[in-house]
A and B are shown apart, each in its own frame.
Chain A
Amino acid sequence: MIWVDTVAQGILLGGLYALFAAGLSLVFGIMRLVNLAHGDLIVVGAYLILLLVTLLGLPPFLAALVAMPLMFALGWGLQKFLLNRTLGDDILPPLLVTFGLSIVFQNALLEGFSADSQRLPTDALTTASVAIGPLNLGVMPLLTFASAVAVIVGLNQLFYRTSLGRAFRATSDDPVTASLMGIKPASIFATATGIALIIVTIAALYLGLRANFDPNIGPARLIYAFEAVIIGGLGSLWGTLLGGIIIGVAQTVGAAINPEWQILAGHLAFLAVLLVRPRGLFPRAND
C-alpha cells in the first residue's frame, strides 16, 4: 500500500516538474533556444512573489497574479533586447549568453536577498489533505498537478485556436516565410518568452509554497525541467507532463528506498530513457 502512495506522490510531484518544464519547452519549440537561465528565472519569480507578499501583504496566489505581468515584461524585454540578438546558426552565443544570465541572476539574488532560505507564507489550505480512497493526498500537490494540466491545455488551445498560436507555429516552422506574411519573428519570439515567464511565475508560486528556496537552487530546477522535456520528446507538451511524472515517480520511489537516492534516481530514470529512446517518448516529426 505504501508503494501506491509513493507512486501517487511521485505523479503529483511530476506536475511541479512539468510546470518547470513547460516554459522551457515552449521557448525551445518556437525558436530552438535553450534558456540556461530558466531555473534561475523560476527562482526570480519566487522572490518577486515573496516581495509582493511581504511588501503589500497580499496572499501568495494574488501576489502571483500581480507578478505575472511583471514577469511577462521581463521575459519580453530579455528576448527583445538580448536573446534575439543571439539567435542564428551558431549555437554558442545563445548558450553562453543565457549561461552568463544564469550566473548574473543567481548572484543578484544573493546580493539582494542573502543566501538564507525563504518560504512563501502557508495557510490552512496549503497543509490540508484529502482522502481519496485509501490514499491521503495533499491539497497543494493536487493543486500543482491540476495547474500543470491546465497550463498544458491552455497552451495547446493557444497554439491551435488563436491567431497568435498560428503565428507561433508559422514562425517555428519557417521564420523567413512567416515574415513574408506580415509576422515579425522578433516580436513573436518576445511574446513567446513573455508567456513562458508567466508559466514560470505559476511554477514559482508552487515552488515557494511547497518548499524552501534560496538563490542557488535555480540550476537544479533547470535540470529537472530539461529532463522532463527530453523524456517527453522535444516540442510535445503532453510529453513534457509525462516526462515530469516519470522524474517525479523515480524520485519518490528512490527516496522511499534510501533518502539519499532521491535526486540520483530521477537522473538515472532520465539516462535510461535517453538510452532506449534518444529522441524522447513523443518526438516531433522533424527537428
Chain B
Amino acid sequence: MTTYAVHTRTRASNAAAILLIGLVAVLVALPFFAGRSTIQDMFFILTMLVLAQFWNLLAGYGGLVSIGQQAFVGMGAYALFAAVILGGLDPVPSILLAGVAALIISIPTAFFAFRLQGAYFAIGTWVIAEVFRLFVAQWKTLGGGTGTSLPRSATKDMWFVDAITVLLDVKSSAARDILAYWLALALALVTIGGIYWLLRTRRGLALAAIRDNTEAAKSVGVDAGRMKWLVFLTSGFGTGLAGGLIYMQKARISPDAAFSVTDWTAYVIFIVVIGGIGTIEGPILGVLIFFALQSLLADFGSWYLMTLGGLAIVIMLIAPRGLWGLISERTGIHLFPIRRRLTGGKLDQLED
C-alpha cells in the first residue's frame, strides 16, 4: 500500500509559528513597558506593513501593479472624518466604515482600470486616485482643499480610551496612541493571517496559477477575471481600513496629505520591492528596513528619498525577488509556506 500526503508546513514554518506567538505576546504587552514614541513608531510600522501587504497581494500575487493606493487610503480617511464630524459616530467603529467606503470606490475604479493593461493599468489607477482627490477637495463641509481636524469632543470620548487611561495610568492623549497601536496590531495580524489563509485556499492556488501563466490558468478552468476583482476589492477594503486608522491617529486631514502618492504608494512599493515581492515575509522585512533607513536618513530630506528610489532600482535589477527572495533562495526557508509538497508512498522510496 502506498499512501500519499500533501504538506505545506515545513520545520522552519513550525518554528516560525512558535516564535510568532511569542512575538505577538510581546507586541500586545508593549504599551505596558514602552514609551510613547516607541508606540508611535510601532504604529507607523504596523500601518505601513498593512498597506504593503495589500499592495503585495495586488502586485505580487494578482499581477495588478497599482500606483493608486492613495485613493483608498484617502477615501477611507475621509469616510472616517465624515462619519465622525457629520454623522456624530465614534471614531473607532468608523474605521469599519472607512473600509466599506474604500470598498465601494474600488468597484468603479476596477471597472475603469481593468480596461487598461500592465503599465497603463498602473497609471490608470493613479489618474482615478487623482479624480477622487480633486472631488474630495471640493467637499466644503470637510474643509475643501485645506482640510479639517477631528473635533476634540470626539477624540476625547473615544471608545476604550477611558479604560486604557485607568488600566495603564497614562494621560488620555497617550491612551489614544495606545488604542491606535493595538488596533493597528490587530489589523496587521488579521491582514497577514487573512492573506496567508487566502493563499492556502483553492483561490490562492488559482491566484498563483494566474500570476505564473494567465493563459494556462484559464485553460484549466480558473476564472482570471473574477480573481482579479476579488484581489482588487479585498485590497481596496483593507487599504481603506488602514487609511481610516492612520487618520484617526493623526486626527487632522487634508486632500493633499491623505491622497499623497509618495506617502501611501511610493513608500509602500519600495517596502515591498526591497523586502521581496510575492512573499508574505518580504513586506515584513521591507518595512523594518524602510523604518531603519528613515530613522537614519530622515534628516537628509530629499537625499533619503533618492536613496530609497536608487535602492529599489538596484534591487529590482540584481535581485528582483527582493532581500527575502535572496534569503529564502540561499537557505530554503519559508516562514509562511504556501507551496504544496507531495510526500509518502513511492516518492519517499525515490528519495532513498
A residues sitting closer than 8 Å to B (CB atoms) are 33-34, 36, 82, 85-86, 90-97, 99-104, 106-108, 110-111, 219, 222-223, 226-227, 230, 234, 260, 263-264, 267-268, 270-271, 274-275, 278
Tell me if B107 counts as interface (CB < 8 A to partner A).
Answer: no
Closest to A278 in B: B115
B63: chain A residues at CB < 8 Å are 91
Stretch at the interface among B2-10, B194-202, B234-242, B302-310: B302-310
A111 vs B135: C-alpha distance when bound (angstroms)? 32
Bits for B260-299, please: 1 = Cβ < 8 Å to A, else 0: 0110001001100100010000000000000000000000
A36: chain B residues at CB < 8 Å are 67, 119, 122-123
Tell me if B32 counts as interface (CB < 8 A to partner A).
Answer: no
Known interface pairs A219-B261, A260-B138, A267-B127; A103-B306 also in contact (CB < 8 Å): yes
Known interface pairs A103-B266, A267-B127; A91-B118 also in contact (CB < 8 Å): yes
A222 vs B59: C-alpha distance when bound (angstroms)? 21
Asked if residues A107 and B306 are in contact (CB atoms below 8 Å), the reply is: yes
Tell me if B258 counts as interface (CB < 8 A to partner A).
Answer: no
Distance in angstroms from B281 CB to nearest chain A CB is 18
Asked if residues A223 and B273 are in contact (CB atoms below 8 Å), the reply is: no
A108 vs B307: C-alpha distance when bound (angstroms)? 10
Asked if residues B127 and A223 are in contact (CB atoms below 8 Å), the reply is: yes
A103 vs B309: C-alpha distance when bound (angstroms)? 6
Asked if residues B123 and A34 are in contact (CB atoms below 8 Å), the reply is: yes
Closest to B123 in A: A226
Asked if residues B308 and A103 are in contact (CB atoms below 8 Å), the reply is: yes
Distance in angstroms from B170 CB to nearest chain A CB is 38
Tell me if B160 counts as interface (CB < 8 A to partner A).
Answer: no
Asked if residues B127 and A227 are in contact (CB atoms below 8 Å), the reply is: yes
Asked if residues B131 and A268 are in contact (CB atoms below 8 Å), the reply is: yes
B128: chain A residues at CB < 8 Å are 271
B262: chain A residues at CB < 8 Å are 103
Asked if residues A86 and B131 are in contact (CB atoms below 8 Å), the reply is: no
Asked if residues B302 and A110 are in contact (CB atoms below 8 Å), the reply is: yes
B302 interface neighbour in A91, A111, A226, Cβ under 8 Å: A111
B130: chain A residues at CB < 8 Å are 223, 263, 267
Tell me if B78 counts as interface (CB < 8 A to partner A).
Answer: no
B residues sitting closer than 8 Å to A (CB atoms) are 59, 63, 65, 67, 112, 115-116, 118-120, 122-124, 126-128, 130-131, 134-135, 137-138, 261-262, 266, 269-270, 273, 277, 301-303, 305-306, 308-310, 312-313, 316-317, 320
A275 vs B116: C-alpha distance when bound (angstroms)? 11
Known interface pairs A93-B320, A107-B306, A111-B303; A100-B131 also in contact (CB < 8 Å): no
Closest to A111 in B: B302
A234 vs B116: C-alpha distance when bound (angstroms)? 11
Chain B at the A interface: SS class: helix
Closest to A94 in B: B119
A98 vs B76: C-alpha distance when bound (angstroms)? 29
Asked if residues A100 and B320 are in contact (CB atoms below 8 Å), the reply is: no
Asked if residues B119 and A107 are in contact (CB atoms below 8 Å), the reply is: no
A230: chain B residues at CB < 8 Å are 116, 120, 124
Asked if residues A97 and B317 are in contact (CB atoms below 8 Å), the reply is: yes
A267 vs B137: C-alpha distance when bound (angstroms)? 15
Asked if residues B126 and A271 are in contact (CB atoms below 8 Å), the reply is: no
Distance in angstroms from A276 CB to nearest chain B CB is 11
A94: chain B residues at CB < 8 Å are 119
B137: chain A residues at CB < 8 Å are 260
Closest to A271 in B: B112
Closest to B266 in A: A103
A102 vs B309: C-alpha distance when bound (angstroms)? 8
Closest to A222 in B: B123
A267: chain B residues at CB < 8 Å are 127, 130-131, 134
A34 vs B118: C-alpha distance when bound (angstroms)? 9
Asked if residues A107 and B302 are in contact (CB atoms below 8 Å), the reply is: yes
A269 vs B115: C-alpha distance when bound (angstroms)? 16
A251 vs B183: C-alpha distance when bound (angstroms)? 43
Known interface pairs A86-B316, A93-B320, A96-B273; A101-B309 also in contact (CB < 8 Å): yes
Known interface pairs A36-B122, A97-B313, A101-B313; A92-B303 also in contact (CB < 8 Å): no
A110: chain B residues at CB < 8 Å are 301-302
A270 vs B116: C-alpha distance when bound (angstroms)? 12
Asked if residues B310 and A104 are in contact (CB atoms below 8 Å), the reply is: yes
Closest to A223 in B: B127
B131: chain A residues at CB < 8 Å are 264, 267-268, 271
A179 vs B129: C-alpha distance when bound (angstroms)? 41
A34 vs B128: C-alpha distance when bound (angstroms)? 18
Please give 6 more A-B residue pairs, beta carbons under 8 A apart, in addition to A111-B303, A274-B112.
Answer: A91-B63, A92-B320, A96-B65, A110-B302, A111-B306, A270-B127
Distance in angstroms from A234 CB to nearest chain B CB is 8
B317: chain A residues at CB < 8 Å are 82, 85-86, 93, 97
Most buried by A among B130, B270, B313, B317: B313
B305: chain A residues at CB < 8 Å are 103-104, 106-107
Known interface pairs A107-B306, A226-B120, A264-B134; A96-B316 also in contact (CB < 8 Å): yes
Subset of 21 A-B contacts with CB under 8 Å: A34-B120, A34-B122, A36-B122, A85-B317, A90-B320, A92-B59, A92-B316, A94-B119, A95-B65, A95-B118, A97-B312, A103-B262, A103-B266, A104-B306, A108-B306, A111-B301, A223-B130, A230-B120, A263-B134, A267-B131, A268-B131
A36 vs B121: C-alpha distance when bound (angstroms)? 12
A274: chain B residues at CB < 8 Å are 112, 115-116, 124
B123: chain A residues at CB < 8 Å are 34, 36, 222-223, 226
A278: chain B residues at CB < 8 Å are 115-116
